[in-house]
Structure 1
Amino acid sequence: MRGKIVAGVVTVSCLLLILVFARIYQKLLTAYEQSGKLVETEYAWVILLLLNLAGYAIILLPGLILYKYLDKSNYFDKIGTKTSCIYRSLFACFGDPGEKIPESVKAQRAEETPRKEALELAFCFIGLMGAYLIWGLLQEKIMTQTYVMPDGALVRFNESQFLVFVNRLSALLLALCRLLYSRQPLVCAPLYKFSYCSLTNIISAWCQYEALKYVSFPTQVLSKSCKVIPVMLMGKVISRKKYELYEYVTAVMISLGMMLFIFGSHDDNGVSTVTTMSGLTLLALYIMCDSFTSSWQSALFTRYGCSSLQMLCAVNLFSVCLTASALLQHAGSAHYLRLLQTPMFVWDCLLLSLSSTLGQLLIYRTIARFGAVVFTVIMTVRQAVAILLSCIVYGHYIFPSGIVGIILVFLAIFLGVYCRQRTRKRRAANV
């Protein structure tokens, strides 16, 4: 009984801390917005990043304090009554049931044939291509179009974090409804473990947008095309994965091929090539956070056997909480809520959210079935195909180095598939 009372007091104290941190964050944000000099400096992104982290800390710091208390006090071992609502809620958030891959998942993986695997891979690739093509077009439309309000006023939307919140909220609701309808467990692993990849996912998205203020678009695309090697290194650190020699070779070939292709498939005279230290730092943060996100999700899939819907629900639960904690303190958020009176804006947001949700589902499905490295390769090839289509449609000239680069990328993919099948046959023969 005493343990329950103490746990209740600590939980209420953490909720009060959320209110205190929210008040502090609001004052910091107001002070930054009123200081003109800080906003205009080249390194204003550092202050913005720290402010974003302060906004996320409203949720994360009280949660960390509660987790530390439960861990130090051995709360889950000492409490006798384990059917109470408080215990089940705390255990869902912070209790670790251990490794538990369902037998149905193991059987499904064992029964896969090369033909089924190839069809599944093709489905994921085509789905990701379509979902993110639509998502990109709608995002550009929302961020650049002027909307007409019912009173005739013209309003331009430019709050990226609001779009992230809407996308994550729709994905959370869709996943939650689907899990309840199919009567699947809502929680497949301790919820706090999903906060890591949720946080790095939000930070990487912010760094990606912010970097465009300091580097050219081709430079950003080039950084994305070289993510295969960082993802492999992150996999070794997080999951202690061992990669075959051919996987390192194909990773280098893909990165080199994309570099040649990007440098040889755009007009240097029409694109700004300005690159600053701030831009390079933001790109480095983006690559690091994005590599951690997919590698950590792959580790959760491997250990707990989560479904794509469970991953979608848990990750977006934290994403909604983190983005909402920052948006609620922003003075300009109420201004953008007025746009919800415009049917065209609402329709664009719904379509954007739908394409984003489908894209996230396919991302988690790809990572769960093939791993973080294969997913990164698919997204790299997607960028190459998008650039190639742009060159064909708009008549851009592709230099010989660009042609060599795209050939090298697809050669690396076919080499990876061939070596993977050979390795599987060799292992099967040795069993």
Structure 2
Amino acid sequence: MALFSERLLKGTFAVVGIMTTLVIYGVLQEKIMRVPYGKNKEYFRYSLFLVFCNRIMTSAVSACTLLASKKAIDPVAPIYKYCLISISNILTTTCQYEALKYVSFPVQTLAKCAKMIPVMVWGTVIMQKKYRGQDYLFALLVTIGCSLFILYPAAGDISPYNKGRENTVWGVSLMIGYLGFDGFTSTFQDKLFKGYDMEIHNQIFYTTLCSCILSLSGLVLQGHLLLAVDFVFRHHDCFFDIALLSTVATVSQFFISYTIRTFGALTFATIMTTRQLVSIMLSCVWFAHPLSWEQWMGSVIVFGSLYVKSFLRSAPQKPVLPEQMSDESSNQFNGKP
């Protein structure tokens, strides 16, 4: 009985931690990119600045963790391999933030569920993995559900930046870029872990350090650094939102690592699927996103497929190479939700 109570307490801690941090993260993403600030209704347009802020905090935390644990801080792999992950990671996150200018957060969140497709493609190309027919079937069902959700938006769900179908197409293109780059990032990370005796925080530190340098360089070259700093200086609530976004992005990694270590990847995948569903519902209520009946049908297909897939994976079967079913589970090693 005591053992059950202890496990229940740990499970509650993990679920509450992940759901709280990542739901807050999702709401803040949408608020920063889609809700105007100040009396003049100005929109924050500097997505690379958000990447820089997130990465510099994660880099600092990972460095402190390495120093506190007295583990080697020297790079284990060649620096260019960390940089390759970093470049892909920056492109992933930039596409994610930019897409929020043109598609709503519910559309983006559901589209992330289709990440299993590029992961399977990159896994076949880079890692020579082989997948079962069942995996391809679930990937197809998720794709159909996401397509319904994206192609049949409700009439009142429009972009705050521009109107028109061409901008929706641009938003969907950014999401496709996000999925492709994110699939490569997680697959190449997996390859790096298998090829080197590497600590998780070692990869986090050098990857995010490269990301800090690259994102800062990009901001300077675009001339956006001073504009972004000026924006947050004039709008203190935006500064608070960005600081909170970076904080919950970093804290969420603790809960992700704790959950996987304590309960395994299956429980974590189920929690993440539930979190995505809660995020969509909360966004629809908070930001008044209407959903068409086709979008409701697409949601049922996607989340139904993911839950069935999770439960089937819990049944005894031959060992297979792990799949990363969501945006957050694929990013447990690179410090980004």
Scaled by the length of structure 1, the TM-score of the pair is 0.56
In structure 1, C-alpha distance between the alignment counterparts of 2:285 and 2:235, rounded to whole Å: 36
Aligned pair partner of 2:37 in 121, 146, 149: 146
- In the TM superposition, 1:244-283 aligns within 5 A as 244-260=132-148, 262=149, 268-272=154-158, 274-275=165-166, 278-283=170-175
| Partner deviation per Cα, 1:286-342 (whole Å, 9 max, x = no partner) | 221111111112222333353432232121011001011122344442344344587
Alignment of 1:27-426 (within 5 A): 127-143=17-33, 144=35, 146=37, 157-186=44-73, 187-212=75-100, 220-221=108-109, 223-260=111-148, 262=149, 268-272=154-158, 274-275=165-166, 278-338=170-230, 339-340=232-233, 344=237, 346-360=239-253, 382-390=275-283, 399=293, 402=296, 405-406=299-300, 409-410=303-304, 412-424=306-318
**What residue in structure 1 maps to residue 329 of structure 2?**
none
SS at match of 1:319: helix
Instruction: Sort the Cα spacing of 1:156 and 1:245 in 2 relative to 1 into closer, same or farther, 3 A.
Output: closer
Render the CA deviation track for 1:209-254: whole Å, top value 9, x for unaligned: 3345556666545543322112111111111122233333333333
Q: Tell me, in whole angstroms, the C-alpha distance in 2 between the residues paired with 1:219 and 1:257.
A: 11
| Farther-moved stretch of structure 1 (163-172 vs 300-309) | 300-309
- Change in Cα spacing, 1:336 to 1:415, as seen in structure 2 (3 Å) is closer
**Unmatched 5+ residue regions in structure 2?**
1-7, 159-163, 321-337
Is the alpha carbon distance of 1:310 and 1:335 closer, same or farther for their aligned partners in structure 2, counting shifts above 3 Å?
same
* Change in 2 beyond 3 A, CA 1:294/1:376: farther
User: Percent identity of the aligned residues?
Assistant: 33
CA distance in 2, matches of 1:254, 1:166: 32
Asked if the contact 2:59–2:208 (Cα under 8 Å) also holds between the matched residues in 1, the reply is yes
8 A contact 1:224–1:380 mirrored in 2: no
The alignment covers a number of residue pairs equal to: 304
Q: Which moves more between the two structures, 347-356 or 228-237?
A: 347-356
Query: Conserved in 2, the CA contact under 8 Å of 1:200 and 1:289?
Result: yes
User: CA offsets per residue over residues 264-304 of structure 1, 9 Å max, x none?
Assistant: 9x862212471466455433322211111111122223333
Secondary structure in 2 matching 1:243: coil
Give the Cα–Cα distance (whole angstroms) in 2 for the partners of residues 258 and 231 of structure 1: 16
Contact 1:256 1:405 in 2 (8 A): no
8 Å Cα contact 1:198-1:319 kept in structure 2 = yes
- Residue 294 and residue 274 in structure 1: after superposition, are their counterparts in 2 closer, same or farther (change >3 A)? same
**Alpha-carbon offset, residue 176 of structure 1:** 0.2
Listed as ranges, the gaps of 5+ residues in structure 1 are 1-117, 427-431
TM-score relative to the length of structure 2: 0.69
* Whole-Å separation in 1 of the counterparts to 2:211 and 2:196: 21
- 2:267 and 2:194 map into 1 onto residues whose CA distance is 15
Q: Which has the larger radius of gyration?
A: 1
CA separation in 2, counterparts of 1:235 and 1:362?
A: 26
In structure 2, relative to structure 1, the CA distance for the partners of 1:257 and 1:175 (3 Å cut) is same
Deviations 1:139-193 (A, max 9, x none): 4444545369xxxx99864322222111111111111011101111223433321
Conserved? CA contact 1:312–1:364, under 8 Å: no
Q: Distance in 2 between matches of 1:219 and 1:274?
A: 15
Distance 1:146 1:411, change over 3 A: closer
Three-state SS of the structure 1 residue aligned to 2:317 is: helix
Change (3 A) 1:404 1:344: closer
Distance in structure 1 (CA, Å) of the matches to 2:96 and 2:104: 12
> 1:105-143: CA deviations, max 9, x gaps?
xxxxxxxxxxxxx99999777644432321233344445
Shift of 1:205: 2.2
SS at 2:315 equivalent = helix
Q: Paired residue for 1:40?
A: none
Matches of 1:154 and 1:126 in 2, distance apart? 34
Structure showing greater relative contact order (alpha-carbon pairs closer than 8 Å, 6 or more residues apart): 2
With 399-408 and 164-173 compared, the bigger mean Cα shift is at 399-408
Counterparts in 2 of 1:193 and 1:234: CA distance versus 1, 3 Å: same
Q: Please give the root-mean-square deviation of Cα atoms over the aligned residues, in Å.
A: 4.4
Do the aligned partners of residues 232 and 326 (structure 1) sit closer, same or farther apart at CA in structure 2, a change above 3 Å counting? same
